[in-house]
């Protein structure tokens, strides 16, 4: 009889292996090579990009555009600023020999009179107005003055006493001649007469000093204020009805404008080139095309505290009174030529309220210098102070240093 074996074949009951279980060595090698490849890739990236970035950053730090050395600025070699800066020595040019200054017309103090009232009182009548031209001795004002009234009273009493003393002396002289009077009586009469005459002369001089007339009577006995000189009324500080309590208070100013002063305000830098008797040409805004010639009368020894200018005076005749006080003028004085520093206007930099330039104090080393510009002529600027001729200055591109 045929026998059948129903047992499973060898290996039939064993579980099916997982693919990874079939090739464990291959799986391990896959992870190993993947980690090594990623690491090499990272190193390559760092080497290529990271080192490159580091090299570029290091190169930027090697040559800075500008180096601060305290208050100085240094432009190192290789800086792009060297190509953008223009450095030139400050030029010196000779002036024309003409000192120009602003001027003003003033009255001559020696020809200006302050009119004071001879006494206190009330202004009765004003005979002139501001700007009027008067002659010497002309009546300016009348004042009803108690002081004048007292002077007239003293004068009247002195005149009466002198007249009585003269009569008494004549009588005593006649009596003495016929022997009816003693010598002592005659001498007493002579003494009384002398004292009366002296008092009369004193009161008359006082009346005359106050402007009173000896033969005036009634309403004519007013205080007369007369012009002490010919001229124009340039100031008036009284009016009819005004009470004057202080006889030292001016009531008007009288100026003789037949000769006037031209006061030139000369800058300090020009003073060494200005001297008395120097020729001067004066022009006026009010009279275009009219130029007057004169000579410097004197140069003041004291500068004006506000303008820091010297008041140099020139006397000019003014017969037609065309030149009026406080009129503006331009004065040109002929002086010895002088050298002055000139820069291109592009060299100047505004620093707050000051004007400055950059001066080269060493090769490619600059320091800021404050200067005082005087006058601009086209593209050139005259430097009054702060810079010497020949000093090297950044004339173009200085704004790059300023930033």
- Lowest-pLDDT range of 12-16, 102-106, 114-118, 178-182: 12-16
Residue range 349-361: average pLDDT? 91
Q: What is the pTM of this model?
A: 0.55
What pLDDT shows up at residue 403?
65
* pLDDT value for 72: 94
Q: What is the pLDDT of residues 71-86, one digit of tens each?
A: 999 999 989 899 999 9
The mean-pLDDT minimum among 27-41, 214-228, 355-369 falls in: 27-41
Q: Please compute Rg for the chain using Cα positions.
A: 53
Within the chain, all domains assigned CATH 2.40.420.20 are found at 72-95+339-402
- Whole-number pLDDT of residue 61: 56
Question: Which of the residue ranges 31-40, 57-66, 197-206, 270-279 has the most confident prediction, judged by mean pLDDT?
Answer: 197-206
Q: Which residues of the chain form CATH 2.40.30.170? A: 98-109+256-334
Please report, in angstroms and rounded to a whole number, the separation of the first and last CA atoms in the chain: 119
- 332 pLDDT exceeds 70? yes
**Distance, C-alpha 326 to centroid of its chain:** 17
Q: Which superfamily does 98-109+256-334 belong to?
A: Efflux pump adaptor protein, beta barrel domain (2.40.30.170)
In angstroms, the CA 74 to CA 59 distance is 19
pLDDT tens column, 83-96: 999 999 999 987 76
Three-state DSSP at 351 gives strand
Q: What is the dotted CATH code of the domain comprising 146-221?
A: 1.10.287.470
Q: HSE on the CB side for 63, CA within 13 Å? A: 10
Closest CA to 140 of 130, 154, 148, 149: 130
Where does CATH 1.10.287.470 sit in the chain? 146-221
For residue 83, the model assigns a pLDDT of 92
d(CA 203, CA 195): 12
Q: What is the mean pLDDT of residues 112-121?
A: 89
pLDDT at 233 over 50: yes
| Least confident stretch, 19-23, 53-57, 142-146, 190-194 | 53-57
Please tell me the distance from the alpha carbon of residue 368 to that of residue 71, in angstroms, as a whole number. 8
Spatial CA neighbour of 197 closest among 153, 160, 162, 157: 162
More confident site: 4 or 399:
399
Which pLDDT band holds residue 339 (cuts at 50, 70, 90)?
A: confident
Average pLDDT over residues 353-379: 90
Q: What is the mean pLDDT of residues 231-245?
A: 92
In this prediction, residues 101-106 reach a mean pLDDT of: 95
- Region 312-327: mean pLDDT is 93
Contact 344, 381 (CB under 8 A): yes
| 3-state SS class at 123 | strand
CATH 2.40.420.20 fits 72-95+339-402, yes or no: yes
Mean pLDDT of the chain: 83
pLDDT per residue as tens digits for the range 14-53? 444 444 444 444 443 333 334 434 443 333 333 333 433 3
What per-residue confidence (pLDDT) applies to 62? Answer: 67
Confidence label for 222 from pLDDT (cuts 50, 70 and 90): confident
Contact between residue 394 and residue 358 where contact means Cβ atoms under 8 Å apart:
yes
Higher pLDDT, 215 or 77: 77
| Residue 107, φ and ψ in degrees, nearest 5 | -75, 150
Q: Which pLDDT band holds residue 59 (cuts at 50, 70, 90)?
A: very low
């Amino acid at each position: 009889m045929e026998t059948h074996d129903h047992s499973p074949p060898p290996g039939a009951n064993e579980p099916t292996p997982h693919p990874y279980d079939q090739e464990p060595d291959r799986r391990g090698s896959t992870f190993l090579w993947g980690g090594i490849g990623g690491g090499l890739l990272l190193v390559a990236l760092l080497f290529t990009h990271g080192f490159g970035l580091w090299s570029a950053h290091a190169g930027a730090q090697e040559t800075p555009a500008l180096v601060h050395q305290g208050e100085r600025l240094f432009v190192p070699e290789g800086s792009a600023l060297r190509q953008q800066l223009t450095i030139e020595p400050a030029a010196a040019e000779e002036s024309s020999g003409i000192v120009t200054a602003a001027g003003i017309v003033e009255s001559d103090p020696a020809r200006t009179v302050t009119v004071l009232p001879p006494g206190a009182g009330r202004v009765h009548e004003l005979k002139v107005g501001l700007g009027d031209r008067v002659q010497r001795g002309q009546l300016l004002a009348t004042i009803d003055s108690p002081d004048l009234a007292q002077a007239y009273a003293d004068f009247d009493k002195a005149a009466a006493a002198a007249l009585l003393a003269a009569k008494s002396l004549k009588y005593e002289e006649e009596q003495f001649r016929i022997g009816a009077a003693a010598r002592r009586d005659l001498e007493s009469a002579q003494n009384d007469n002398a004292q009366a005459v002296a008092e009369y002369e004193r009161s008359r001089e006082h009346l005359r000093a106050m402007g009173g007339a000896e033969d005036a009577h009634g309403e004519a006995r007013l205080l007369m204020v007369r012009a002490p000189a010919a001229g124009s009324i340039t100031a008036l500080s009284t009016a009819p009805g005004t009470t004057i309590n202080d006889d030292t208070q001016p009531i008007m100013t009288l100026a003789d404008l037949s000769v006037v002063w031209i006061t030139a305000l000369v800058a300090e830098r020009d003073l060494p080139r200005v001297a008395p008797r120097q020729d001067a040409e004066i022009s006026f805004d009010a009279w275009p095309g009219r130029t007057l010639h004169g000579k410097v009368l004197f140069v003041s020894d004291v500068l004006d505290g506000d303008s820091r200018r010297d008041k140099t005076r020139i006397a000019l005749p003014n017969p037609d009174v065309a030149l009026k006080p406080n009129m503006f003028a331009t004065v040109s004085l002929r002086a010895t030529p002088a050298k002055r520093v000139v820069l291109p206007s592009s060299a100047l930099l505004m620093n707050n309220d000051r004007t400055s330039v950059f001066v080269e104090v060493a090769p490619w080393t600059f320091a800021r210098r404050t200067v005082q510009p005087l006058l601009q002529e086209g593209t050139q600027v005259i430097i009054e102070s702060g810079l010497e001729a020949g000093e090297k200055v950044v004339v173009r591109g200085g704004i790059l240093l300023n930033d």
